[in-house]
Amino acid sequence: MNRDTDQARALKELFEDDFLIGAAVNPRTIGTQENLLTRHFNCITAENEMKFINVHPEEDRYTFGDADRLADFARKHGMKMRGHTLVWHNQTSDWLFRSKSGELVDKATLFSRLKAHIDTVVKRYKNDIYAWDVVNEAIADEGESRLRSSLWTEIAGTEFIAEAFRYAHEADPNALLFYNDYNESHPHKRDKIVALLRSLLEQGVPIHGVGLQAHWNLYDPGLDDIRAAIEKYASLGLRLQLTELDLSLFRFDDRRTDLTSPPAELLELQAERYEAIFRLLQEYRASIDSVTFWGAADDYTWLDDFPVRGRKNWPFLFDERHQQKPAFHRIAGAFAAAD
Q: Cα dist. 43→23, 123, 142, 258 in Å?
A: 7, 20, 33, 34
Report the nearest approach of ligand HAH to the CB of residue 21 (Å).
19
Report the nearest approach of ligand HAH to the CB of residue 226 (Å).
15
One residue of 15, 41, 182, 328 binding ligand HAH per CB under 6 A: 182
Q: Cα dist. 139→99, 153, 240 in Å?
A: 27, 11, 18
Interface with ligand HAH, residue 289, by CB under 6 A: no
Q: Which is closer to ligand HAH, CB of 213 or CB of 287?
A: 213
String marking each residue 42-61 x if it binds ligand HAH according to CB under 6 A: -----x--------------
Closest CA to 40 of 324, 277, 267: 324
- Total interface residues for ligand HAH by CB under 6 A: 7
11, 37 in Cβ contact below 8 A? no
Q: Which is closer to ligand HAH, CB of 270 or CB of 282?
A: 270
Q: Per-residue DSSP letters for 294-310?
A: SSSSTTS-GGGSSSSTT
One residue of 302, 329, 334, 336 binding ligand HAH per CB under 6 A: 302
CA 40 to CA 13: how far, in whole Å?
8
Instruction: Output phi, psi for 84, to 5 deg.
Output: -145, 115
One residue of 29, 33, 92, 136 binding ligand HAH per CB under 6 A: 136
Q: Which is closer to ligand HAH, CB of 82 or CB of 312?
A: 82
Q: How many CA atoms lie within 13 A of 317 on its CB side?
A: 28
Interface with ligand HAH, residue 292, by CB under 6 A: no
One residue of 215, 312, 322, 325 binding ligand HAH per CB under 6 A: 215
Chain Cα centroid distance, residue 283: 21
Question: What is the set of active-site residues?
Answer: 137, 244
Q: Contact positions toward ligand HAH, by CB under 6 A? A: 47, 136, 182, 213, 215, 244, 302
